[in-house]
Amino acid sequence: MLERIRNEPAVLAGAVVAVLNALVLLDLVSLSAEQVGGINVALAAVLGLFVRASVTPTRTLDERGAVDVVLMLLVAVLLGVVLLLFGVTFK
Dihedral angle computed from the Cα positions of residues 53, 57, 61 and 63, in that order, rounded to the nearest 10 degrees: -150
Domain count, the chain: 2
CA–CA gap between residue 33 and residue 25 (Å, rounded): 11
Contact status, residue 5 vs residue 51, Cβ threshold 8 Å: no
**Shared-domain flag, residues 42 and 78:** no
**Shared-domain flag, residues 42 and 19:** yes
Question: Mean pLDDT over residues 54-70, rounded?
Answer: 64
Expressed as residue numbers, the domain containing 24 is 1-56
**Shared-domain flag, residues 45 and 4:** yes
**Shared-domain flag, residues 22 and 47:** yes
pTM, to two decimals: 0.52
Q: How confident is the model at residue 39 (pLDDT cuts 50, 70, 90)?
A: confident
Contact status, residue 25 vs residue 18, Cβ threshold 8 Å: no
**Shared-domain flag, residues 25 and 63:** no
**Shared-domain flag, residues 29 and 52:** yes
**Shared-domain flag, residues 29 and 3:** yes
